[in-house]
Amino acid sequence: MARAVTIFTGQWADLPLEKLAEIMAGFGYDGLELACWGDHLDVWKAAEDKSYCKKQRAILEKHKLQLFAISNHLAGQLVCDLNNDSRSDAFAPADCAGNPEKKRAWAVETMKKTAKAAQNMGVKVVNGFTGSSIWHLLYSFPPVTEQMIEDGFKYFAKMWNPILDEFDKCGVKFALEVHPTEIAFDIYTAKRALEAIGHRETFGFNFDPSHLHWQMVNPVCFLKEFSDRIYHVHMKDAALQLDGRSGILSSHLNFGDPRRGWDFRSLGHGGINFEEIIRTLNQIGYQGPLSVEWEDSGMDRMHGAKEACAFVKKIDFAPSKVAFDAAFDRT
């Protein structure tokens, strides 16, 4: 039961899809998880023009690469984000810059188009972010009331239920990548997000252990807690490097700064126990792809992506179909 090993193209959007497909096929990948930016996938075109979808798929097929999911993190972020500073201006068209509600309106329509794009591309899962109107309330000072938090989850449901309705119409699931700055960033908030939308089946999770590990949330516990909601899996590593000077809040130091309390690492170079993750994925019956999301500021990305593919193929294994001691019984 070797699961397909794919790679998320979001961090590689500077490369044309044709070139990237050639490179990743050469590294041994079985497929790509297409990002909805760069020239990898234009969701508005894909939603309205099946010939465009055929063209994008032909690039993958030329290199014998499969497609299991597409991902639209950037537009999804703007749906519930406050959108009140310049950081998110690049996520939307230039004419939305500086206008929080214009960015939001564009994002809502784009996520609806993403569902149709996925249907036209022949995939059943869209990964992405939701944004959060309450992330800035994480630390309870000035004091934060329970009503403020409740209102944030209600706002999430208000904004995302109409989008998920479109996903239902297209027969596509949305998999939130549980992640800081999103409505769900750990087990308790993931539970609360599901409750907010009435546990509708369309909404599940793109499991990424790296975002849990540095928060010191056990990724295996997450898999067991949401065994029926794991719609996609990212393989990404992270390392805690707490030296007594910086904590997990990272001291306003950017990724790659060795003074940070944690950082992303290429697979096998961090602190995540991927064997236990594979064993748990086997236990819950997950048979989808294992998609490498490659991020490591301290390593050449070509070296890292090739090594990561080999790492995942080596560590994945099928569950046993027989008890190891079955041959002992000779009666």
Q: How confident is the model at residue 4 (pLDDT cuts 50, 70, 90)?
A: very high
Domain annotation for the chain: domains and CATH numbers:
5-328 (3.20.20.150)
Average pLDDT on 85-111 reads 97
Residue 106, C-beta contacts closer than 8 angstroms, at least 6 positions apart:
75, 78, 92, 93, 96
Q: What is the pLDDT of residue 330?
A: 62
Is residue 1 pLDDT above 70, yes or no?
Answer: no
C-alpha distances out from residue 73 to 114, 271, 327, Å: 11, 25, 50
- Indicate if the pLDDT at residue 331 is higher than 80: no
Q: Are strands 290-292 and 66-71 parallel, antiparallel or unpaired?
A: unpaired
pLDDT tens per residue across span 118-151:
999 999 999 999 999 999 999 999 999 999 999 9
Global pTM?
0.97
Summarised one tens digit per residue, pLDDT across range 59-91 is: 999 999 999 999 999 999 999 999 999 999 999
C-alpha to C-alpha distance for 267 and 169, rounded to whole angstroms = 37
pLDDT at 107: 98
183: Cα within 13 Å, side-chain hemisphere: 36
Q: Choose between 331 and 245: higher pLDDT.
A: 245
